[in-house]
Structure formats: structure tokens, C-alpha cells
Amino acid sequence: MTRLAPILQEYFTSYLSGQRAASPATISTYRDTWRLLLGFLADQTGRPAHSLGLTDIDEHQVMAFLDHLEQHRGNSIATRNLRLSGIKSVMAFQAPRSPEHLDTISRIHAIPVKKNGRGDVSYLTADQLQVLLDAIGTDTWTGRRDKTMLALTAQAGLRINELIALRMTSLNLTAAAPHLTCTGKGRKQRTTPLTSAMATMLKTYIEERNRKPGDVLFPNPTGGSLSPDAIRKRLQRHAETAAAARPELARIRITAHTLRHTAAMTFLAAGIDAAVIALWLGHESIATTNIYLHADISVKQRALDRTRQPETPAGTYKPEDSLLTWLKSL
């Protein structure tokens, strides 16, 4: 039996990080995909993950796993498709090494991505964001960390992986224009200015503990990086507290990406050009940024207000003369 354990070890240690030189974010995403899939297969087969082989995975198991992600873990279609990419990548790596499994591998590769219709962009108004931040208790260090972390995410429009990767060296708070530098998709760096209020908040947070330049900016209690799940759980807890004070927030699914959307919508409402917003968010294409144009009806209203509408007087309906109608038909 061709076991999955050595396949995954070679894929992650030799191929993905070595030959492909994949980014830490890609490695982390694919690792989590297979951690979840192996746990799912172990539950389905009743066998420990380390004993599973290629014969234990086929297109039916993969489809069941993807449905499990949506229905039981509450994952989005985008996350489902991302997990499928991680599975297909390992299968493509193993295909030339296991020709006897090519039929199964090809069927897994034939699984299509799920279409993700454009839904409403979830974001917070300035007032709603303030309610969320005010709901975070600051009598503990973790509370002060969370408040600073979420405020920065909403101001800088950070992706969750960009947030996690921030180090003390990512900040420059002594410059005439305080800013942070983060590494986004494709390992592309971008520099984002900070408001004076955000810079002051960060200085206060940093001065509380003796921090070294290479330290994680928003660490867990042991000094390591927070996991995406840890951030989601902390944010969910604060969102629930905020919803108790502002019930309308209970109808909004507040995630780290919601705060990223909030940054974009704040700029759009201020009349900032979509091309500038794309640069701010690190979008490769302005087409990605256009989703915010569709989300903000005030943009369309301002466009309508600038146009001159035809002044057409209201009329009344007058039936056409039957004789004239007959003549027209000849």
C-alpha cells in the first residue's frame, strides 16, 4: 500500500518549500488542508491518520470532505475551493510516482471548483466599528492586544495572514509619516501609512512590554504567532459582546476580512479612487476592487446626482384612432 505519510513528508519538506519555494502562507494553508482531510478520513475509516494510504482517498471522499467543510465547519465557498487546490496539488505531485493510482488521481483532479456568486460585501460603518472596539475590555493585556490588533486591521485593511506575520520591525512609528510594511499575496511587500491616532495606540501597546525588534507584533501568551483560528475566536467573542449593545451587529458576520472590507468602504465613502484603494489593499487588479463599487449605493447615488436628467413632462395615454391604425397596417 502506498502510504500518505511519506508522500506528505516529501511534498512539504522537499517539493513545496524547496523546489517550489512556496510562501509560508501557502505552506500553512496546504498543511491545514491535509490536517483537516486526514482527520476527516480517520473518522470515516476508523483508522489512525498515520496508517492511511492513497487507496483510502478517492473523488467521493474528497467531495464528502468538501461538503463537510461547508455544512459542519461553516466554511465559505472560497475556502472550500482553496482546500480543493491543496488536495489537487499533492495529487499532481504524486501522479508520476504512483502510475497505478492515475485513474483515481485524475478523477480527483476532475472535481470542479464550486462557483461562488458575488454576494453582498460585509463591512462595518464607522459607528459600528467603534462599537466593536469599545466592546473589547482593556483591563487585561490580551484585551489591549486585541483592541490594537483589530483597530490596525480595520485601518490598514490587512489580510489575516498579513496580520499574523507582522513583527516589531514591520512598524516605523518614528518617521514623519508613521507606517507599516507587510508582505501580501505572492510575497509582495506594500507600505501602508498610519493615522496619528493609530500610531499613538501602537506606541502605547508596544511600550507596555519589553519588546525586541524580531518579536511578533501581536503574539500569543507564549510569544509565538497567533493562529487564524485563535484570531477568529477572539473576534467572534468581541463581536458577540458588541451585538449585545448593538443588536444590528448580530446580523453581520464579522470576520477579519470584514474589517479589511471596512477599510476599503471607508475610503470609497470618502471619494477615494478605486485605483488607490487597490494599491492600499494590495490587489493585483483593480477589477478585484470593483466589488466595493457595487456594494456602496451612495457611490451610484452621487453619480446620479451629477447627471442631468431629461425634463420630460408627464403625459396621458391616448388610444390611437382605429382608422389610422388600419391604414398603418396596409
Instruction: Dump pLDDT digits (tens) for 62-86.
Output: 999 999 999 998 888 888 999 999 9
- pTM of the shown model: 0.65
Give dist(CA 279, CA 142) in Å, integer: 31
Catalytic residue IDs? 159, 185, 257, 260, 283, 292
**Considering just the CA atoms, what is the radius of gyration of the chain in Å?**
26
Give dist(CA 256, CA 239) in Å, integer: 11
Specify the pLDDT at position 7: 94
Best CA proximity match to 147, nearest among 208, 191, 74: 208
Specify the pLDDT at position 63: 96
Specify the pLDDT at position 320: 62
Specify the pLDDT at position 286: 64
Specify the pLDDT at position 265: 86
Say which residues have a Cβ less than 8 Å from residue 113's Cβ, sequence separation at least 6: 81, 84
Give dist(CA 29, CA 213) in Å, integer: 27
Q: Which residue in the block uniquely carries the three cell numbers 388600419?
A: 326
Specify the pLDDT at position 118: 58
Say which residues have a Cβ less than 8 Å from residue 35's Cβ, sequence separation at least 6: none
Burial class (CB in 10 A: 0-12, 13-18, 19+), 59: middle
Best CA proximity match to 38, nearest among 90, 76, 81: 90
Specify the pLDDT at position 277: 82
Specify the pLDDT at position 218: 96
Report, as ranges of residue numbers, the positions in the chain whose pLDDT lies below 70: 1, 117-120, 285-330
pLDDT by residue (tens digit) across 201-253? 999 999 988 788 889 999 999 999 999 889 999 999 999 999 999 999 999 98
CA distances in angstroms from 98 to 242, 257, 322, listed in the order given: 53, 40, 81
Specify the pLDDT at position 123: 87
Specify the pLDDT at position 119: 57
- The domain spans of the chain are 4-109, 126-304
Is it true that domain 126-304 has CATH number 1.10.10.10? no
Backbone angles phi, psi at 180, to 5 degrees: -130, 155
Q: Residue type for 28, please?
A: S
Tally Cβ neighbours within 10 Å of residue 71: 9
Burial class (CB in 10 A: 0-12, 13-18, 19+), 296: middle
CA distances in angstroms from 167 to 19, 129, 181, 183, 231, listed in the order given: 27, 25, 10, 11, 16
Say which residues have a Cβ less than 8 Å from residue 295's Cβ, sequence separation at least 6: 120, 121, 123, 261, 265
